[in-house]
Amino acid sequence: MESLFGNLEPLTHTPNKFADIILPVPIPRMFTYAIPREFLEQISIGSRVIVQFGKKKILTGIVGKVHANPPSAYEAKPIFDVLDEQPSVNPMQIQFWSWMADYYCCDLGEVMHAALPAGLRLSSESRIQLNPEFDPENSQYPIDPRENKILEALENAGEISYSDCEVILETKTILPIIKSLVAKEAILVFEKIQEKYTPKKVSRIRIQQKVLEEKGKLQEIFDSLGKSPKQESILLKYLQEVPVLNQPERNNRGIEKSKLLSEGDSPSSLKTLIKNGIFEAFEEIVSRIDSIEATRESVELSSEQKRALSEIKDHFEDKQTVLLQGITGSGKTEIYVKLIQEAIESGSQALLLLPEIALTTQIVSRLKQVFGDRMGVYHSKYSDNERVEVWNGVIQGRFPFVVGVRSSLFLPFDSLGLIIVDEEHEASYKQFDPAPRFQARDSAIMLSYFHQAKTILGSATPSFESYSNARNGKYGHVILDKRYKDAKLPDFHLSSLSEDKRKNLLKLDTTRLLREKIQQALDSNQQVLIFQNRRGYSPYIQCESCGWTGQCIQCDVSLTYHQFTSELRCHYCGYKEEVPTACPQCGSGDLKTMGMGTEQIEESLSLLFPEARIGRMDLDTTRSKHGYQRILDEFAHGHLDILVGTQMISKGLDFERVTVVGIWDGDRILNFPDFRSGERAFQQITQVAGRAGRGNAKGDVIIQSRKPDQHIYDQIIKGDFDEFYLQEMHDRKQFFYPPYVKLIKITARHQDYKTAEQGAIFLHNKMSQIDAKKILLGPEKALIGKIKNQYQFETLIKLDRSGAIQNHFKKELRRIIDQIKIDSPYKSVRYVIDVDPN
Ligand code: ADP
Ligand code: ZN
Ligand code: ZN
């Protein structure tokens, strides 16, 4: 029954609905706001809203929860505005974000920031408005004339941007003035959410519908145009291009304006035609994403592939995750295709994660041929606008299948059936900086779990984590150990640099064997890949007289010499300087380059093999959007004989004519100071080697080494992953390393050495009091003790694997750090928590 006083209730009456909002602030929780009546219908989980935060800020956030419990400690402020008609984010995503924030010890706001594509992201422009509570007559603070100008502008305009202020005051230094106005509580500062996303529009022209509908009208118009040949020719062209006579009424799309007006046509004639009611102009929103038709059926699987596929399906009966361990070239991708087709045909969504799409364009184009327009690609080299289009395309069902890099886990899927993580061992699946420092493979498994979907982890050289889960039966395990069509695996040669004293005339670090194999390949018109995971010309330059080396002024690392740009560059902070002509320390002119990077290898190979066409693929040559593709195409079309590159060349490339793969410096891969270095070396060398001999000719892999007697080389050459695994696992168990324990790394950063060190020790002592099964190591100066003028000290925590212990430890850890931030001598220290570090 309706209350007698129902209508008398003021609209601003405290509502009984509240929303917890995720805001981009470094505070690990959501904030409760009241939902005004007028928004009740529109607001749900995932809506983007605008709220006032604190006294002075207006922010945009995402609704995380809707409920009826007013906050106990404060009065909830109302939500200002709602940006979305339909929520941009779904409840499953929020669940996923929350898991990620908890597991990786970061703030929900940080996850939100990483998850939303910049085009949907919220804050963009700083603006100000008058504080409604401000009364200029009775202000207790004097307002100076410049401030007054701003207030006057606000009286008139309601709100203005920072740059408007700059114009009004004719100065760039407006920040102090704005701050002062805020302090006087005269204005509010807020971030204006302009959707960065702008749909792409094209102008089109069509004949007015009424002209088409009236019988004989067209003829009449024609007759009347006899004296205006320019108009007549435009109309004629239109009629040639657009079949108007049997045009269904609703599909009168006309023609793109730019197509209608060819050279010589006058835009003013077109205008006249429009003015006279014959044509009309309109705009149509078009996609920025090129439309590609599917051009091939999926292939017939080989019997090996069929067996693997049916094993996978069997495992899926009772397991969520399957490890597909298939050597390079065994045809995993075609198996993925079948599984993806089945998933989307049954109405679910599918996601294929790749390490870094730029590195795997080949696989993307293969998939495009099969899935065409139903496949979205999500990738950091896409523009903001394109990313928003993929995002919305997932919501609208345009892309039931997405291929993407790790950030594609954040897309608004609502019914995932299948996630595939290809090359699941790849280190780049771990986000290093900034937070959330998530491991995309592990997060994919969690996301799958939320969707009740299935996960495939694919690799030739699985991560130890996945392999041990497969061995202990937690994951299904399916093996493909033959190459498709029995293509031969390459021969391995370990080539000793120290034994091979007969250096060539050019004094290059090449063994005779590598040189011979390269020459043979060139002679028989085959191709060569040379792998060296170090870009630039040489890792450092040194003074022969006094031993001086170029060091970064902001980091504890030597500067890499880049010959092409004639610079010394820091690969950690980007600092660069010109190469000195003489030693800055002793003045000697005897500066020598030490060690070889890709740039120098390219140069020396061109001296050794003057007839060869040599290309280079590394970060420096592939920065532009199509740089990578260009080099790849040149190589694929046989315009290059030798390709020198960093790990970029080790992934997913599939070229039939590559018969020789040279690993320039095997020791360098092995000797990285990290408990995973053996695992990584095995993976990297096997991956690069897998590029050889994919066609009919058998390939050769030459690993150059100064210490060829290291045991791991044997295992790599034998391809005995199992033996290698068992031995490594033995060590890991003994010394408490993953997967036997969980690692958390905490880095204390500060610009003052002592403060960083003391801050690390202070936290260490607090952590040692947490009641959990754990081992604490450190704090120790980080491998690179200083980056960008911040000193870093690391503590490593080895935690028992039990989920309860981990949760307890993480919770306590965050409580301790919060406490340090509030009240301790180490307030200003930055503590970076990295869960499951690489
Ligand atoms: P992986 O991903 O395991 O390294 P790929 O899927 O790239 O292997 O397969 C290696 C090569 O064999 C590719 O060129 C692929 O097109 C081809 N191939 C694999 N399976 C089939 C098949 N069933 N029919 C035809 N070609 C296939
Ligand atoms: Zn010197
Ligand atoms: Zn630096």
The answer to whether 315 and 469 have CB atoms below 8 angstroms apart is no
Predicted TM-score (pTM) of the model is: 0.81
Closest ligand 1 atom to residue 483 Cα is 10
Ligand nearest to the CA of 479: 1
| Residue 555 assigned to a binding site | yes
CA of 623 to the centre of ligand 2 (A): 35
Judge: domain 125-195, CATH 1.10.260: no
Query: What CATH number has the domain spanning 491-538+595-719?
Result: 3.40.50.300
Q: For residue 678, what pLDDT is reported?
A: 87
Comparing 450 with 713, which gets the higher pLDDT?
Answer: 450
Amino acid letter at 734?
A: Q
The answer to whether 770 and 812 have CB atoms below 8 angstroms apart is yes
CA of 23 to the centre of ligand 3 (A): 33
Closest to 79 in 3D by CA, of 108, 48, 55? 48
CA of 331 to the centre of ligand 1 (A): 4
d(CA 382, CA 390): 10
pLDDT (tens digit per residue) in 631-681: 988 998 999 999 999 988 876 577 788 999 999 988 888 777 678 888 988
Stretch (H or E) spanning 216: none
Q: For residue 259, what pLDDT is reported?
A: 83
240's CB contacts (< 8 A; 6+ apart) are none
CB atoms within 10 A of CB 104: 23
Ligand nearest to the CA of 543: 2
| Residue 546 assigned to a binding site | yes
pLDDT reading at 50 higher than 60: yes
Both structure tokens of 786 = 């200083």
Closest ligand 1 atom to residue 305 Cα is 23
Q: Do domains 125-195 and 491-538+595-719 have the same CATH topology?
A: no
What stretches of 23-161 show up as alpha helix (H) in DSSP? 91-103, 108-115, 145-157
Q: What is the dihedral of CA 211, 215, 216, 222, to 10 degrees?
A: 10
For ligand 1, residues with CB inside 6 Å are 299-302, 305, 326, 328-334, 484, 654
Q: What is the 3-state secondary structure (H, E, C) of 669-707?
A: HHCCCCCCHHHHHHHHHHHHHCCCCCCCCCCEEEEEECC
pLDDT (tens digit per residue) in 402-455: 999 999 999 999 999 999 999 999 988 999 889 999 999 999 999 999 999 999
pLDDT (tens digit per residue) in 477-496: 999 988 776 667 788 999 88
Residue positions counted in the chain: 838
Q: For residue 499, what pLDDT is reported?
A: 61
pLDDT (tens digit per residue) in 105-155: 999 999 998 998 887 765 556 789 988 888 877 778 888 899 999 999 998
pLDDT reading at 14 higher than 70: no
Closest ligand 1 atom to residue 335 Cα is 6
Both structure tokens of 238 = 């239109």
Comparing 327 with 311, which gets the higher pLDDT?
Answer: 311
CA of 333 to the centre of ligand 1 (A): 7
559: number of CA atoms within 13 Å, CB side? 23
The answer to whether 660 and 652 have CB atoms below 8 angstroms apart is no
Q: For residue 489, what pLDDT is reported?
A: 74
CATH topology assigned to domain 303-485: Rossmann fold (3.40.50)
Q: For residue 91, what pLDDT is reported?
A: 94
d(CA 143, CA 177): 10
d(CA 741, CA 65): 35
pLDDT band at 67 (very low <50, low <70, confident <90, very high): very high
Task: Provide the 8-state DSSP code for 67.
Answer: E
Complex-level ipTM: 0.94
Residue at token pair 């118009």: 221
| Residue 552 assigned to a binding site | yes
d(CA 683, CA 666): 12
pLDDT band at 374 (very low <50, low <70, confident <90, very high): very high
Q: Where are the domains of the chain?
A: 125-195, 200-286, 303-485, 491-538+595-719, 742-835
CA of 447 to the centre of ligand 1 (A): 28
pLDDT band at 358 (very low <50, low <70, confident <90, very high): low
Most confident by average pLDDT, 154-158, 263-267, 319-323: 319-323
How many percent of the chain have pLDDT more than 70?
92
CATH topology assigned to domain 742-835: Alpha-Beta Plaits (3.30.70)
> Who surrounds ion ligand 3 at CB < 5 A?
552, 554-555, 570, 572-573, 575
Tell me the CA end-to-end span of the chain in Å, nearest whole number: 63
Q: Identify any residues that bridge with 63 across adjacent strands, giving them in sequence order.
A: 21
Closest to 146 in 3D by CA, of 192, 188, 185, 179? 179
pLDDT reading at 330 higher than 90: no
Comparing 508 with 380, which gets the higher pLDDT?
Answer: 380
Burial of 12 (0-12, 13-18, 19+ CB in 10 A): exposed
Q: For residue 334, what pLDDT is reported?
A: 94
Residue at token pair 């018969």: 659
Stretch (H or E) spanning 658: strand 658-663
The answer to whether 753 and 709 have CB atoms below 8 angstroms apart is no
